[in-house]
Amino acid sequence: MDHSVSVIHVQRCAPGIFELAVERPPEVAFVPGDCVAIYGPDGQASRPYSLASGQQEPVWRFLIREMRGGEISPYLATRQSGDRLQLSAPFGWFRPGPVGDGPFVFMATGTGIAPFLSYLHSHPACPPACCLYGVGQRADAVAAEWLRERVRLHLAVSREAAEDAAHGRLTRLLDEVPLGEAHHYYLCGLDAMIDEVSVWLEARAVPITHIHRECFFNAPV
């Protein structure tokens, strides 16, 4: 069932990235990793966006990259407090978190950090073994300071040097990844990262059933 909700705010987090907060539809539950389809002005076209807020929060928050020339994200970037938006019910199959008692690892590029933020807001007492986070510019790592207080964070910045990050793509950080038979790995963001990391993990005998993937963006060929 679709919901019509009010925009609470659109806040710039970094050049090209903003947080959209909307009122939470009453009585609608979600699980970290779920996304919601958000509709554009014609009420027909929609795009999925992962919830970045915690399950208990009174608002729903999304972390969105504005794609120049895109149909929906630039529209969302210009919403004002009080505007109405049409959303689908939450849905998804990506479920970051423990499987049994096994350790787990998060790996994200860009706004692919959103489902992991939702998980950590919802389950702060059960963090991953570590979190690898790859961004283009240091300013794009919008949640880095918050994450550092909660998880073992390894940051990579590809397009500039930064004091607190490796210089390069997320794959520069793979030596930091703990390996073990019981580990589960959650990958979210750009298709290229997801593919490369999956190949790397499989080459180290990680079963495919322990590699969980959510692709947000396909890099232009």
Ligand X SMILES: Cc1cc2nc3c(=O)[nH]c(=O)nc-3n(C[C@H](O)[C@H](O)[C@H](O)COP(=O)(O)OP(=O)(O)OC[C@H]3O[C@@H](n4cnc5c(N)ncnc54)[C@H](O)[C@@H]3O)c2cc1C
Applying CB under 6 A, which residues contact ligand X?
A: 35, 47-50, 62-65, 67, 69-73, 111, 114, 214, 216-220
Cβ-based nearer residue to ligand X, 103 or 139? 139
Return phi, psi of residue 182, to 5°: -90, -5
As measured in angstroms, the least distance from the Cβ of 204 to ligand X is 27
Smallest distance from ligand X to CB 125, Å: 24
d(CA 30, CA 20): 17
Nearest residue (CB) to ligand X, 76 versus 155: 76
Greatest distance between any 2 Cα atoms in the chain: 51
Instruction: Decide if 151 contacts 129 (C-beta within 8 A).
Output: no
DSSP state, residue 126: S
- Closer to ligand X by Cβ: residue 92 or 127: 92
Position closest to ligand X via CB: 70
Q: Using CA atoms, how far apart are residues 50 and 184, in angstroms rounded to an integer? A: 20
In the bound complex, what is the minimum distance in angstroms from residue 170's beta carbon to ligand X?
A: 14
3-state secondary structure of 49: strand
CB nearer to ligand X: give 23 or 66: 66
Cα Rg of the chain (Å, integer) = 17
In whole angstroms, the minimum distance from the beta carbon of 143 to ligand X comes to 12
